[in-house]
Amino acid sequence: MKAYIEEAEKVLLHTYNRYQLVLDKGEGVYLYDTEGKKYLDFCAGIAVFALGYGNQEYNNALKGQIDKVIHTSNYYYNVPTIEAAKKLTKAAGMDRVFFTNSGTEAVEGAIKAARKYAYLKDGKRDHEIIALEHSFHGRTMGALAVTGNPKYREAFEPLIGNVRFAKMNDWESVISQVNEKTCAILLETVQGEGGIHPSREEFLKKIRELCDERDILLILDEIQCGMGRCGTMFAWQKYGIRPDIMTTAKALGCGIPVGAFLMTEKIANASLVPGDHGTTYGGNPLAGAAINKVLDLFEANNIIENVNSVGNYLKEQLELLAEKYEVILERRGEGLMQGLEFACPVGPYIKRAMEHGLILINAGEKIIRFIPPLIIEKKHVDEMICILSVCLEEEKEK
Ligand SMILES: *Cc1c(COP(=O)(O)O)cnc(C)c1O
């Protein structure tokens, strides 16, 4: 492994401080490094690999499509992507979809649609977007502009302008920034990278009402919290509201790089038209085949029921851990998207866990994030808690 890492550090652009681990293969909820060591995976490639590793049905669907045709461009139609669009709009309760290659591109598309919608109404070019502090929406210039972490933005400014930041679950901070230029309010239904902060039902409902009253678009970023992770197909579905535009990615392709932004018919009819937006790869037949199979397997394998039962168990077990160890301040989150906030940086705990064969990730300096494959079982939660307890004891004794 050391040799691989040395080679990597000579050629890869140094944009990550990676863990000293070279992963080689996966099986179910376990990953193996190049030396054959086994790891229980509570990261799932950052909330991507929902179905676990080596799902034969998924793999065969991809192989079949590779042998037929991988790419044709968006000048033509292709069947897998038509099917994927039907299934995804149905699962999301939205009307129309545009497929992208990543999450950040889905956010770019959502922003463009919102600006176009406002532009068609009044012809002005100074519309504003309200986003939230501690949000994460991606690394391209538009998505970065609405990401509520000044450290990520600063060196790359000027980004797209006219973005204001409000606070999660703080109605005053939102309403005080709304004006006649506001074209959209954009938020993650449950903030991921920013530390696992769920939005409250009344907060979302008030924003929805405000948006209806003022013809402002509500954009929900479901790239991390969606696709069943919080116990419904998309996290907003349990709040009895519907966004005007939403984004998804990560688990949507379960490893094939895909994303999407979806919208209601009303917005679709009054925003982007031919020539306004495009992508070479987005929604190609291979991506379509992946999304299709993922959505089929979600249903066939009762993924969402599993998230609810195992998610509740995870919640109980994390609560117990938080009671037992003073260093843990709080548990947050829903379903299989949960976090423990520590009183200190969590890096040392994550390193130790890796030595003991458990892959965890952080969300900010002091939060461990639990975003396992959605097929995990209670016994895997037990295994994780057992290893994490050992790490907590070892750090205590240090
Ligand atoms: C990961 C993430 C993105 C960016 O997705 P990429 O595929 O990395 O571009 C955007 N929004 C949220 C909420 C995310 O978690």
For a substitution probing ligand 1, which of 48, 137, 236 has the most ligand atoms within 8 Å of its CB? 137
CA 191 to the chain's CA centroid: 9
pLDDT tens figures, 131-143? 999 999 999 999 9
Per the listing, tokens 């497929």 go with 99
- Residues whose CB falls within 8 Å of the CB of residue 360, separated by 6 or more in sequence, listed in order: 42, 43, 349, 350, 353, 354, 368, 369, 370, 388
Protein residue with least CA distance to atom 11, ligand 1: 137
Query: SS3 breakdown of the chain: % helix, strand, coil, rounded to 5?
Result: 45, 20, 40
For a substitution probing ligand 1, which of 224, 361, 362 has the most ligand atoms within 8 Å of its CB? 224
Q: How far is the CA of 224 from the centre of ligand 1 (A)?
A: 7
SS3 state of residue 112: helix
Protein residue with least CA distance to atom 7, ligand 1: 103
Handedness of CA 47, 53, 56, 61 (dihedral sign): positive
For a substitution probing ligand 1, which of 15, 101, 102, 104 has the most ligand atoms within 8 Å of its CB? 104
DSSP code string of 346-363: SHHHHHHHHHTTEE-EES
| Predicted pLDDT at 235 | 98
Q: Which atom of ligand 1 is nearest to the CA of 250?
A: 7
Confidence of residue 366 (pLDDT cuts 50, 70, 90): very high
Q: At 339, give phi and psi (nearest 5°).
A: -145, 150
Q: How far is the CA of 323 from the centre of ligand 1 (A)?
A: 32
Domain boundary assignment for the chain? 2-54+303-397, 69-300
What amino acid is encoded at 34 in this protein? Answer: T
Does 398 have pLDDT greater than 90?
A: no
Q: How far is the CA of 397 from the centre of ligand 1 (A)?
A: 37
Q: How far is the CA of 200 from the centre of ligand 1 (A)?
A: 21
Using alpha carbons, list the distances in angstroms from residue 193 to 46, 185, 373. 10, 19, 17
Q: How far is the CA of 369 from the centre of ligand 1 (A)?
A: 15
How many Å apart are CA 177 and CA 186, to the nearest integer?
A: 13
Q: Which atom of ligand 1 is nearest to the CA of 139?
A: 9
Q: How far is the CA of 250 from the centre of ligand 1 (A)?
A: 7
pLDDT tens figures, 51-91? 999 999 999 999 999 999 999 999 999 999 999 999 999 99
Task: Please give the average per-residue pLDDT across 327-335, as a whole number.
Answer: 98
**What fold, for 69-300?**
Aspartate Aminotransferase; domain 2 (3.40.640)
Mean per-residue pLDDT over the chain, rounded? 97
Protein residue with least CA distance to atom 6, ligand 1: 103
Protein residue with least CA distance to atom 8, ligand 1: 103
| Predicted pLDDT at 163 | 98
User: CA-based angle 337:341:345, to the nearest 5?
Assistant: 120
Is pTM beyond 0.85 here?
A: yes
pLDDT tens figures, 7-49? 999 999 999 999 999 999 999 999 999 999 999 999 999 999 9
Using alpha carbons, list the distances in angstroms from residue 95 to 31, 74, 85, 292. 38, 19, 9, 17
How many Å apart are CA 310 and CA 300, to the nearest integer?
A: 18
How many Å apart are CA 258 and CA 242, to the nearest integer?
A: 23
pLDDT tens figures, 104-133? 999 999 999 999 999 999 999 999 999 999
Domain 2-54+303-397 grouped into CATH 3.90.1150.10 = yes
Helical segments of 36-102, H only: 44-47, 56-68, 79-92
Does 326 have pLDDT greater than 90?
A: yes
Ligand 1 neighbours (beta carbon < 6 A): 102-104, 107, 136-138, 188, 192-193, 221, 223-224, 249-250, 259
pLDDT > 90: percent of the chain: 100
